[in-house]
């Protein structure tokens, strides 16, 4: 049966659209992919491990070389208990509670007084490790710290170096606090899952 001119033209148009779409997908298809699954083992991620560290965090507000400096002192801070104040830190992490004990890292970040009813801090800090095989790696912590609670727990939200894809938590316990200077030594137990 002979095809009409319309049927031939229509078939050719459909065929042309199909070929055009195939060419567009072949040329541009891979560039439009936003994300793709990767093999963890091909990127050096083997078995996940749990590591525990115990360090002492030294917050020094006074003296000739403070490691914690108030960078935001809101108006009426004496009337509202300091709510809104922000302190930047570069605190020593040591193996023992004595400040002159072995330095194993630095805690760099900030804490802000985020509660109007208690001494409740928003803490954002990186534990930059300088000891052993973890030298150069970091653990990132972001959480709530109610300073006068016996134990405070904050989540580990990531890390770098040997702590890539880190997750876990820290528990903070005040070891010593000087009410006059504000200096504090806090024991941190770090429980971190990493590859």
pLDDT in tens, 143-162: 999 999 999 999 999 999 99
Break the chain into its structural domains and give their ranges: 46-194
Topology of domain 46-194 in CATH is AOC barrel-like (2.40.480)
Separation of alpha carbons 187 and 182, rounded Å: 16
The whole model's pTM is what? 0.79
Closest CA to 184 of 88, 116, 99: 99
pLDDT in tens, 4-39: 666 666 666 776 777 767 666 666 655 556 788 888
Closest CA to 106 of 138, 60, 83: 138
């Amino acid at each position: 049966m002979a095809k009409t001119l319309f049927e031939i033209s229509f078939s050719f148009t459909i065929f042309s659209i199909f070929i055009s779409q195939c060419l567009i997908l072949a040329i541009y298809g891979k560039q439009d992919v936003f994300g793709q699954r990767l093999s963890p083992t091909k990127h050096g991620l083997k078995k996940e491990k749990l590591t525990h560290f115990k360090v002492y965090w030294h917050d020094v507000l006074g003296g000739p070389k403070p490691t914690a400096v108030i960078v935001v002192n809101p108006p009426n801070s004496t009337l509202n208990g300091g709510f809104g104040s922000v302190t930047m830190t570069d605190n020593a992490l040591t193996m023992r509670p004595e400040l002159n004990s072995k330095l194993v890292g630095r805690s760099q970040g900030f804490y802000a007084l985020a509660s109007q009813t208690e001494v409740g801090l928003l803490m954002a800090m990186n534990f930059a490790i300088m000891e052993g095989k973890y030298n150069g790696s970091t653990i990132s912590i972001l959480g709530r710290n109610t300073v006068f609670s016996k134990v405070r727990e904050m989540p580990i939200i990531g890390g770098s170096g040997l702590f890539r894809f880190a997750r876990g938590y820290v528990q903070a316990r005040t070891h010593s606090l000087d009410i006059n200077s504000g200096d504090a030594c806090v024991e941190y137990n770090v429980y971190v899952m990493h590859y």
